[in-house]
Amino acid sequence: MMPGLMSRRQYPFHLIEPKWQQHWDAEQTFRAWNPSDAVPASHPFAQRHGADAMSPEKIAAGQAPGKFYILDMFPYPSGAGLHVGHPEGYTATDILARYRRSQGRNVLHPMGWDSFGLPAEQYAVKTGQHPRVTTEANIANFTRQIKSLGFSYDWSREVATTDPGYFKWTQWIFLQIYNSWFNPETNKAEPISTLKYPDALAWPEGVTGVVVAQAPPPVTSPAGAPACCPPELEAKRRAYVDSKRLAFVSEAPVNWCPELGTVLANEEVIDGKSEVGGFPVIRKPMRQWMLRITAFAERLLADLDTIDWSDSLKEMQRNWIGRSEGAEVDFKLDGHAAKIRVFTTRPDTLFGATYMVLSPEHKLLAQITTPEQAEAVKKYQEFATTKSDLERTELAKEKSGVFTGAYAINPVNGEKIPIWIADYVLATYGTGAIMAVPAHDERDFEFAKKFNLPINQVVIPKDLKGGAIGPLEAPFCEEGVAFESPSHGWRLEDMNLPKDQQRLPWDFSPPDINGLPTAEAKAKITAWLESKGLGQKTVNFKLRDWLFSRQRYWGEPFPIIWKKGADGQLYHEALPESALPLLPPTLEDYKPTADGQPPLARAKEWLHLLDGSIRETNTMPQWAGSCWYYLRYLDAKNAAGFVGKDVESYWMGTAASARSSVASGQSEHSTLKTENSGTTPGVDLYVGGTEHAVLHLLYARFWHKVLFDLGHVSTAEPFYKLVNQGLILGSDGQKMSKSRGNVVNPDDVIGEFGADAFRLYEMFMGPLQDTKPWNTQGVEGVYRFLGRVWRAFVDEASETDYEQAAAAHGDSATFLGQIQLSAAIQDVPATPAQLKTLHTCIKKVTEDLEGLRFNTAISSMMVFINDAMGWEVKPASVYRTFVQLLAPFSPHLAEELWAKTNTKFGIQNVSLSYAPWPTFDPARLVETEIEFPVQVNGKLRDVIRIQVDASKETIEQMVLKSEKAQQFLEGKTVKKIIIVPKKLVNIVVG
C-alpha cells in the first residue's frame, strides 16, 4: 500500500489499538479465575465481584460468578500465517466472551496451538531443520497476528500440543485408554483389571506365582495373575487381555498413502485420496494401533440428542456412525457342514433371496469353492485386493464377480441358491456376506441383470392390489406389503427324499407373512428365525475402529515398549507413568528408514532399552492432541495431573451434567441448561469450521466418554453448544487460494483499516454460519461507521491540533491525549426521543448477541449513530451506554472513548470490560401515536396516524374515512374489518 495513495485515516486506530492491547496485557484484564484463586484486589474482576469471589466458600454457596467457557478450535500454526477465516470464528467468540464478562460471568476464553503436523516435518525432511524450530517460529507469528486483533484471550492458559508438558498428558490419556476395556454389560469403559478371564484361561488350581518385578512394572496385567509359568498359558492370557483393550494392535488392510509415507484413518480418506494433499491411498495389510471407538458407537449416536449442535453437523456424525438395524441369518451350505451368516436389513425379503454374495476376502472361500471355479475365484480375489480405493470407486459403475461353484440353502424355502463373490460386498461390514434380493435391492438387481440370475418379487407397493406384477424394470426398494412369499421355490419334492438328503425337515413350516406391511413382516420373520435358531436381530454400524498410529516423526511417541515372550513372540507393554513424557529422539534425518520403518527407528540408542526391549516407533496422529486440549486449558500449568478435579468440575460440570445415554438408558431430548446457575455442562460454546465434523469432533467425544467412564471428567459430552462458522470466499466468489491470487492477508487489512474495522466487517458480512464472499469495499463501509462514531465523540479542532503535532513531531501515542471530547457531549438528562433511540439499540444488540446475530446487531448500532451524531446536545450517559454496546465488537475504539468520557466527567476508572451490561427499559419505547397501515383485501392503500390505545371502534371509523381507502371501497360491501393491534388493519370487501 503506497502511503501517498492511502486515504486519510478515519481515526487514529494505529495508536489506539496497540495502546489498549498493551494495557490489557499489563493489567491481565482477561485472566479467568479458577476455584480458590485469590484475585488481586486491583484486578477489575475483583472490583466487580470481590477479591474473594472464587473462594471455596463462595463457590460452595453458589455465590461465585457463573462460569462461561467459550472455545475456539485452536489453529494449526502453518507457515502461511493467519487467513481471514480464522478471525471470523475468533471474533464471534470474542464478542460473546466480552458480552458475558460484562454480564458478570467468569469467562474462560483460551487460545493455543495444534502444533504437531505434517508441514513442519516435511520441511525438516527437506532442510534438516528440526520441526520444533519451524513450529516455534510459526507459533510466534500466529501469536503476533492474533494479538493484533485484540481478542480477550487468557494467554496465561496458552497450550501447545508439541510441548512436552502437554503431550506428557496426551500420552498419559493414551495409557488410560490402553489400560481399559469396554464392558458390554455396563456399556462403559472400565479398568482392564476388572476384566475376567474365560474359564479356559484360568490358572490351574494351586499355582502360585511370584510376581517378578520388572522394569517397567506390569501396570497392565489384570489383578491376580502370577507373572510366571506356565508360559503358554501366560501368553494366551496376555493375548486375551490385549484383544480386549481399548487401544490394541491389529494386523489388517489399512489405508496406506505412499506419497505421505503414512497410514491414515478412514476419516482422513476422501474419495480414495488423502484429506491432506489429495494423494492416492491404497489398501495394504499392516500392523497398526487401533482405538476401539466402535464400542462407543451407540452412545456417540444417542448422546447427539443431548447437545445443541446444528442439524447438518449432527446428521454428518449420524451418517458416519451409520447405525442400521436388521438380522443376521445363517444359511446352510449344500454338501458342507459349514454355515454362512449374512446380515440384512430386510429379513422380510428372505423369500426373494435368489443368490448369495461373499466379499472376495471371505474366510470360507477356500473351503467352499469348487475345483472347477478355483482358478477364477483366485484371479478375482487378486484383482479385487490390489485395487486402490480410488480405482474401486471408479470401477464401481460396472458390477463384477465370479461364481464359486457352491450353493447355499435358503432357510425359509429350501431353495438351492448359487454363491458368488463380488467386490461390491465389503469384508469389513456386517458379516462380509449378503443374501442377494435382486427384486428389492439396487445393487443386487444390477448384479443379477449382468449375470442373468433369477429375480423374484416378494414385496409390492401398498397401493397396488396384488396380481398385476410383470417383469421388474427396476428394483422396488421401498417398504410395501409382503407378497407371494412362501410360494417361491418351496420344494415339496423334498418331502419325498430320505431324511438325510432333505435340505429342510419335512415338517418345516416357514412363517406366512403374505399381506403384511414391511415392518410387521420383518418382525414376524425375525422372530421365526430366532425360534428356529437360524438367526437373530442385529445392529450394525458403519463406524470403524480408529487407526491411531502414523509413520511420522513429528507426533507424540507411544509410551509403549515391545518385549519378547517365552514363546518367542513379541508383546507390548506400557511405560510407567514416571517415564512420561516420552520425548521423540533427536534425528539428523527425518525420512523413513530404507526398509520402510518410521523415522523414529533411525534413533538406535533411543530405540533399544537396556533390558532388551524395543520402543514402539509409530507416533500418534495429529488428532490426539486436539482430543483433550479443551481440558488442559482449565488447568494448563498443572504438573500433577492432566487437570485438577475441582477445576474440572467448576468449568465443565453442573448438576445436570452426568446425564447421558448410559445413565438414562435412552436419549433425552432436553437442553441441559440448569435452572439456577444459567450455566451449561461442558464447553458452553464452541465455534469452528465444519471440516472437523467426523474427525476432531468425533474423536474428542470418544476420548471424553472414556475419561467420563473412568471418572476423570464430570460430563458425558465435552461440547454443549457448537456453531460452525461459514467459509469466507474470495471476492470472485471462489474459495481463496494462492493459485487464484484472491487471498486476503489479515495483516494488510489491519494495517489499512485497523483491527476494530476488520473484526466488525467479518461480523457484518452476513450470518456467522453462512458462506460469504470477501469484499474490501465492505470493510471500508464499516470503517467509515467507526469513523462516524469517532467524530460523534471528539472535538474536531482538537483533532486537527493532534494531526499537526503528529505531522511535526512524528506519530506518537502521547499526542492522543490532545484529542478532546466534543463540547456537545454534556452531563445532561436525555430527551425521551434520545432514550428511545438508545433503548431500541440496547434491545436489538442484546437480543442479537444472544442469538449470535452479529450482523443485525451491528446494523442497529449504525442506525443509532446515524441518528445520534446529529444531536446538538449529546447526553454523556446515552453516549457512554452506546460505547458499552460497541465494546464487544470494536473494543479498542470503545475503550478509548470510554476513557475519554471517564476523564472529562471525572468518573472513577471503571474498567469497560467489567462494566455491567446495559439493561433495556421497555418503558422507553412506549409511544402514544403510531403509523397504522390500512389494507384493502390485503393490499396496502393508506397509512394513517392513530393513538396507540385507540379502541377498535375508533380505528374502524378512522379507517373507513380514509380517503385513499375510500376509492377501493366504492361500490363494494365491507364484509369484515380485521384489526391487528399495533400492526395494521385489513378491510375485506366483496
Partner RNA sequence: GCCGGUGUGGCGAAAUGGCAGACGCACGGGACUUAAAAUCCCGGGAGCCUCAAAACUCGUGUGGGUUCGAGUCCCACCACCGGCACCA
* Residue of 936, 929, 832 lying closest to 878 (CA atoms): 832
Q: How far is the CB of 764 from RNA (least distance, A)?
A: 7
Q: Does 927 bind RNA (CB under 7 A)?
A: no
The residue (of 664 and 690) whose beta carbon lies closer to RNA is 690
Specify the stretch interacting with RNA by CB under 7 A; choose among 236-244, 284-292, 315-323, 603-611: 315-323
Secondary structure (3-state) at 563: strand
- Cα-Cα-Cα-Cα torsion 87, 91, 93, 98, nearest 10 degrees, comes to 150
Secondary structure (3-state) at 826: strand
DSSP output for 722-768 = EEEPPPEEPTTSSBP-GGGT-PPPHHHHHHHH-HHHHHHHHHHSS-T
For 573, the enclosing helix (H) or strand (E) is strand 570-574
Of 271, 512, 577, 929, which one interacts with RNA (CB under 7 A)? 271
The residue (of 201 and 523) whose beta carbon lies closer to RNA is 523
The residue (of 953 and 963) whose beta carbon lies closer to RNA is 963
- Measure the CA–CA gap between 348 and 514, rounded to whole angstroms: 10
Per DSSP, 358 falls in state E
* Residue of 356, 352, 351, 349 lying closest to 334 (CA atoms): 356
The residue (of 772 and 843) whose beta carbon lies closer to RNA is 772
Strand segments (E) across 95-222: 106-108, 112-113, 159-160, 180-183, 188-191
Q: How far is the CB of 985 from RNA (least distance, A)?
A: 8
- Measure the CA–CA gap between 441 and 397, rounded to whole angstroms: 16
Q: Does 931 bind RNA (CB under 7 A)?
A: yes
Q: How far is the CB of 82 from RNA (least distance, A)?
A: 21
Of 367, 569, 866, 966, which one interacts with RNA (CB under 7 A)? 866
> In what side-by-side order are the strands of the sheet with 106-108?
106-108, 67-72, 685-688, 722-724
Task: Cell numbers for 892, please give them.
Answer: 479498542
The residue (of 232 and 315) whose beta carbon lies closer to RNA is 315
Of 189, 247, 368, 694, which one interacts with RNA (CB under 7 A)? 694
Q: How far is the CB of 559 from RNA (least distance, A)?
A: 31
Q: Does 280 bind RNA (CB under 7 A)?
A: no
The residue (of 239 and 269) whose beta carbon lies closer to RNA is 269
Q: How far is the CB of 873 from RNA (least distance, A)?
A: 17
Could you say which residues in the range 465-524 bind RNA, by CB under 7 A?
Answer: none
Could you say which residues in the range 622-661 bind RNA, by CB under 7 A?
Answer: none
Could you say which residues in the range 837-856 bind RNA, by CB under 7 A?
Answer: 853, 855-856
Secondary structure (3-state) at 517: strand
> In what side-by-side order are the strands of the sheet with 546-547?
262-264, 247-257, 282-291, 546-547
Task: Cell numbers for 724, please give them.
Answer: 460452525
The residue (of 554 and 802) whose beta carbon lies closer to RNA is 802
Could you say which residues in the range 375-404 bind RNA, by CB under 7 A?
Answer: 392-393, 395-396, 399
Of 179, 773, 803, 907, which one interacts with RNA (CB under 7 A)? 773
- Measure the CA–CA gap between 883 and 887, rounded to whole angstroms: 6
Q: How far is the CB of 51 from RNA (least distance, A)?
A: 42
Q: Does 870 bind RNA (CB under 7 A)?
A: yes
Could you say which residues in the range 138-157 bind RNA, by CB under 7 A?
Answer: none
* Residue of 245, 282, 306, 292 lying closest to 385 (CA atoms): 282
Binding mask 412-451 for RNA (x = CB under 7 A): -----------xxxx--xxxxxx------x-x--------
Specify the stretch interacting with RNA by CB under 7 A; choose among 198-206, 875-883, 884-892, 928-936: 928-936
Q: How far is the CB of 582 from RNA (least distance, A)?
A: 33
The residue (of 961 and 983) whose beta carbon lies closer to RNA is 983
Q: Count interface residues toward RNA (CB under 7 A).
A: 88
Q: How far is the CB of 223 from RNA (least distance, A)?
A: 38
Strands 929-936 and 939-947 turn out to be antiparallel
> Among all chains, which residue has been given the C-alpha cell 494449526?
76
The residue (of 51 and 863) whose beta carbon lies closer to RNA is 863
Secondary structure (3-state) at 74: coil
Of 1, 2, 3, 7, which one interacts with RNA (CB under 7 A)? 7
Could you say which residues in the range 536-555 bind RNA, by CB under 7 A?
Answer: 540, 542
Per DSSP, 642 falls in state S
Q: Does 315 bind RNA (CB under 7 A)?
A: yes
Specify the stretch interacting with RNA by CB under 7 A; choose among 189-197, 250-258, 771-779, 821-829: 771-779
- Measure the CA–CA gap between 937 and 834, rounded to whole angstroms: 38
Of 935, 944, 958, 959, which one interacts with RNA (CB under 7 A)? 935
Residue 918 C-beta-side C-alpha neighbours within 13 Å: 28
Q: How far is the CB of 371 from RNA (least distance, A)?
A: 27
Strand segments (E) across 292-384: 324-333, 339-344, 355-358
The residue (of 324 and 385) whose beta carbon lies closer to RNA is 324
Of 416, 462, 961, 964, which one interacts with RNA (CB under 7 A)? 964
Q: How far is the CB of 879 from RNA (least distance, A)?
A: 16
Three-state SS letters, 254-308:
EEEECCCCEEECHHHEECCEECCCCCECEEEEEEEEEECHHHHHHHHHHHHHHCE
Could you say which residues in the range 320-379 bind RNA, by CB under 7 A?
Answer: 320, 322, 324, 326, 343-346, 359
- Measure the CA–CA gap between 274 and 277, rounded to whole angstroms: 6
Decide: 293 and 694 in contact? Cβ < 8 Å: no
The residue (of 163 and 423) whose beta carbon lies closer to RNA is 423
Could you say which residues in the range 62-91 bind RNA, by CB under 7 A?
Answer: none
Could you say which residues in the range 218-237 bind RNA, by CB under 7 A?
Answer: none
Q: Does 197 bind RNA (CB under 7 A)?
A: no
User: Judging by beta carbons within 10 Å of its beta carbon (0-12, 13-18, 19+), is residue 103 exposed, middle or buried?
Assistant: middle
Q: Does 941 bind RNA (CB under 7 A)?
A: yes
Specify the stretch interacting with RNA by CB under 7 A; choose among 213-221, 513-521, 590-598, 857-865: 857-865
Q: How far is the CB of 618 from RNA (least distance, A)?
A: 24
The residue (of 148 and 431) whose beta carbon lies closer to RNA is 431
Decide: 36 and 646 in contact? Cβ < 8 Å: yes
The residue (of 232 and 770) whose beta carbon lies closer to RNA is 770
The residue (of 139 and 782) whose beta carbon lies closer to RNA is 782
Q: How far is the CB of 152 from RNA (least distance, A)?
A: 25
Secondary structure percentages of the chain, helix, strand, coil, to 5: 40, 15, 40
Q: How far is the CB of 423 from RNA (least distance, A)?
A: 6
Decide: 416 and 409 in contact? Cβ < 8 Å: yes
Cis ω before 510 (30° cut-off from 0): no
The residue (of 608 and 983) whose beta carbon lies closer to RNA is 983
The residue (of 743 and 977) whose beta carbon lies closer to RNA is 977
Of 235, 282, 658, 863, which one interacts with RNA (CB under 7 A)? 863
Phi, psi for 862 (deg, rounded to 5): -65, -40
Residue 844, beta-bridge partner list: none
> Among all chains, which residue has been given the C-alpha cell 440496547?
842
- Measure the CA–CA gap between 565 and 348, rounded to whole angstroms: 51
Q: How far is the CB of 522 from RNA (least distance, A)?
A: 11
Binding mask 776-805 for RNA (x = CB under 7 A): -xx-xxx-xx-xx--x--------------
- Measure the CA–CA gap between 259 and 279, rounded to whole angstroms: 6
Q: How far is CA 557 from CA 116, 399, 659, 700, in A?
A: 12, 43, 35, 19
The residue (of 232 and 796) whose beta carbon lies closer to RNA is 796
Q: How far is the CB of 883 from RNA (least distance, A)?
A: 18
